[in-house]
Amino acid sequence: MHTKQTLYEKLGGEQAIKQIVDNFYARVLADDTVNQFFANTDMEMQRRHQTAFISYALGGSNQYTGRSMEKAHTGLNLQPEHFNAIIKHLGEALATRGLSPDEINAVLAHVATLKEAVLYQ
């Protein structure tokens, strides 16, 4: 019996996710809409957390053990335009790995379920 390959496996596992995260943050840090939120962030730690989170979101075996989405975003008062910019950059970073538009949309839909947890905190 053939089990369906997760997007995590299809992308190439943790090494590939790290590259997606690096690509994602290069885009985010170049975007004046959202880069101010990372001005005082330890980006190495941020990349590790994001790699674990995206790995988990894509069906990897890693369990995400970071702070809750609400706690991680408290005090930032993120607005819809900020969330949309992050989603756009994540979609573009995923596209660099050859995912189909349907696969990218599936990932973004999964991330979009977190919108209520991160906005207006």
Whole-model pTM: value is: 0.87
Render pLDDT for 104-115 as a digit per residue (tens, 0 to 9).
998 898 888 888
Residue with tokens 């369906």: 4
Mean pLDDT of the chain: 89
Does 6 fall in a domain? no
87 located within any domain: yes
- The pLDDT assigned to 117 comes to 85
The pLDDT of residue 62:
65
What pLDDT is recorded for position 121? Answer: 81
Does 2 score more than 60 pLDDT? no
The verdict on residue 77 lying in a domain is yes
Q: Is residue 102 part of a domain?
A: yes
User: Does a structural domain hold residue 91?
Assistant: yes
Instruction: Return the percentage of the chain with pLDDT > 70, whole number.
Output: 96
Q: At 22, is the pLDDT very low, low, confident or very high (cuts 50, 70, 90)?
A: very high
CATH of the domain at 92: 1.10.490.10
| Residue 4 belongs to a domain | no
What domain range is 45 assigned to?
12-118
The total domain count for the chain is: 1
Q: Of 80, 85, 76, nearest to 32 (Cα)?
A: 85
Distances (CA, A) of 53 to 3, 58, 100: 23, 9, 21
Tell whether 7 is covered by a domain: no
pLDDT digits (tens, 9 = 90+) for 41-60: 999 999 998 998 888 878 88
Residue 3 inside a domain? The answer is: no
